[in-house]
């Protein structure tokens, strides 16, 4: 079968590898759509494991079921989670599913930028979700990133009526915008360095979209009736955005570090000020099966609409172009690879 093998952001090669087979308890999935995630183009994160087949935002249909698989049939339309928790360890039992060692060591074979993937038995048990009628395969590629957003906002305790500042207006920032709006958030302000993305943010309902080079804390006060933001969500790895977040959060507010800077970069937190004003900083990584279930339901119900975010649909041989477009962060949002063409 054909795969897009990642060597670097500028070197993604169409190669052949053996088509996997479904063993006992496993399934083989024909991949019909696979989204390029912002994390896929973080070279410091990915290149140390290269060459490999990336892709973890997939939807497709079951091509084959292994011995003992029940409740799943060939031809069934599904979304598959690549990382799944054990649901039994110390961390899972305390609600910290993304800290679970099993979640960090599970995946499907080889990756979503391939014509077929083999889904291991554990993933079949708790990481396969049928796509409801009315949810397209294109929408299916948003389930994983939307589930991550839902988990982040849940652990950050986002509440209806709260003012929200989202730093970074790529796909993650836009999904946070839509999820916060669906929740009933109050005033939502976004920022970015890209005028294209700022215009998209306005189109999708941001009350204000600010260039990241502005005095963000001052502008937030100006827009938000003299107050800073009750919730600040960082959706870019730029250190400048994290520094702006520290300066833009209101007393009693929370900063959600949805993105992360490169390793070795430390954040100078004004602990004394935060201590006096009860400000919370927390990170968010990944999602749990519950979050994926909620994401699917929000897409099914139309509470969140995502298909217009797709700016490029490319065949498997064009995956390298997709990576370059994603890394350049120009006039592109969600890039979907269609491995069957």
The predicted pLDDT at position 97 comes to 94
Q: Tell me, yes or no, whether 268 lies in a domain.
A: yes
What is the DSSP secondary structure assignment for residue 170, as one 8-state letter?
A: S
In three-state secondary structure terms, 256 is strand
194 shares its domain with 127: no
326 shares its domain with 278: no
CA dist., res. 258 & res. 270, Å (int): 20
Q: Tell me, yes or no, whether 59 lies in a domain.
A: yes
Length reported for the chain:
341
What is the DSSP secondary structure assignment for residue 45, as one 8-state letter?
A: H
User: What's this model's pTM, rounded to 2 decimal places?
Assistant: 0.96
Q: 150 is written with which tokens?
A: 């839902």
Q: Tell me, yes or no, whether 221 lies in a domain.
A: yes
Q: Tell me, yes or no, whether 80 lies in a domain.
A: yes
The predicted pLDDT at position 217 comes to 98
In three-state secondary structure terms, 340 is coil
The predicted pLDDT at position 96 comes to 94
The predicted pLDDT at position 44 comes to 86
319 shares its domain with 205: no
40 shares its domain with 124: yes
The predicted pLDDT at position 45 comes to 87
Enumerate residue ranges in the chain where pLDDT < 50: none
Q: Tell me, yes or no, whether 246 lies in a domain.
A: yes
The strand pairing partners of 72, in sequence order, are none
CA dist., res. 317 & res. 12, Å (int): 9
131 shares its domain with 205: no
Which one of 283, 301, 318 terminates a domain?
A: 283
Q: Which residues contact 48 (CB under 8 A, 6 or more apart)?
A: none
Q: Tell me, yes or no, whether 25 lies in a domain.
A: yes
Among the listed residues 218, 233, 220, the one whose alpha carbon sits nearest the alpha carbon of residue 177 = 233
What is the DSSP secondary structure assignment for residue 117, as one 8-state letter?
A: E
CA dist., res. 22 & res. 143, Å (int): 24
Determine the structural domain holding residue 56 and report its residue range.
Answer: 2-143+287-338
Q: Tell me, yes or no, whether 13 lies in a domain.
A: yes
222 shares its domain with 334: no
256 shares its domain with 317: no
pLDDT in tens, 275-328: 999 999 999 999 999 999 999 999 999 999 999 999 999 999 999 999 999 999
6 shares its domain with 139: yes
255 shares its domain with 296: no
72 shares its domain with 178: no
Which one of 238, 261, 283 terminates a domain?
A: 283
* Helix ranges (DSSP H) in the chain: 43-46, 101-105, 121-126, 137-140, 143-155, 171-183, 195-203, 216-223, 239-248, 271-277, 289-301, 319-328
Q: Do 24 and 66 form a contact (C-beta atoms < 8 A)?
A: yes
133 shares its domain with 208: no
The total number of structural domains in the chain stands at: 2
What is the DSSP secondary structure assignment for residue 308, as one 8-state letter?
A: G
Q: Tell me, yes or no, whether 149 lies in a domain.
A: no
177 shares its domain with 277: yes
CA dist., res. 80 & res. 27, Å (int): 11
CATH of the domain at 264: 3.40.50.720
Q: Do 52 and 5 form a contact (C-beta atoms < 8 A)?
A: yes
3-state helix, strand, coil in the chain (%, to 5): 35, 25, 40
CATH of the domain at 108: 3.90.180.10
């Amino acid at each position: 079968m054909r795969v897009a093998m990642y060597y670097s952001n500028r070197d993604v090669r169409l190669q052949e590898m053996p088509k996997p087979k479904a063993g006992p308890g496993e399934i083989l999935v024909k991949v019909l759509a696979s989204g390029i995630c912002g994390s896929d183009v973080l070279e410091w994160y990915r290149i140390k494991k290269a060459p490999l087949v990336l892709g973890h935002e997939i939807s497709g249909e079951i091509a084959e079921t292994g011995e003992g698989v029940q409740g799943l049939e060939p031809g069934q339309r599904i979304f598959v989670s690549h990382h799944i928790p054990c649901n039994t360890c110390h961390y899972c039992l305390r609600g910290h599913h993304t800290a679970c060692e099993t979640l960090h060591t599970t995946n499907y074979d080889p990756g979503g930028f391939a014509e077929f993937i083999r889904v291991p038995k554990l993933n079949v048990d708790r990481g396969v979700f049928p796509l409801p009628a009315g949810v397209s395969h294109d929408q299916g590629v948003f389930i994983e990133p939307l589930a991550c957003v839902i988990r982040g906002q849940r652990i950050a305790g986002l509440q209806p009526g709260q003012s929200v500042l989202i730093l970074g207006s790529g796909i993650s920032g836009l999904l946070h915008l839509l999820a916060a709006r669906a929740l009933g958030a109050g005033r939502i302000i976004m920022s970015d360095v890209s005028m294209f993305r700022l215009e998209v943010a306005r189109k999708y309902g941001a009350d204000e979209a600010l260039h990241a080079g502005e005095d963000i804390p001052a502008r937030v006060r100006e827009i938000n009736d003299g107050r800073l933001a009750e919730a600040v969500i960082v959706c870019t790895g730029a250190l400048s955005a994290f520094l702006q977040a520290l300066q833009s959060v209101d007393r009693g507010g929370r900063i959600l570090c949805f993105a992360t800077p490169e390793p070795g970069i430390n954040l100078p937190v004004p602990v004394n000020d935060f201590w006096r004003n009860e400000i919370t900083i927390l990170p968010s990584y990944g999602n749990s099966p519950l979050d994926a279930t909620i994401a699917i339901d929000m897409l099914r119900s139309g509470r969140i609409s995502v298909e217009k975010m797709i700016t490029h649909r490319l065949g498997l041989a064009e995956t390298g172009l997709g990576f370059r477009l994603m890394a350049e962060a120009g006039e592109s949002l969600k890039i979907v690879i269609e491995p069957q063409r």
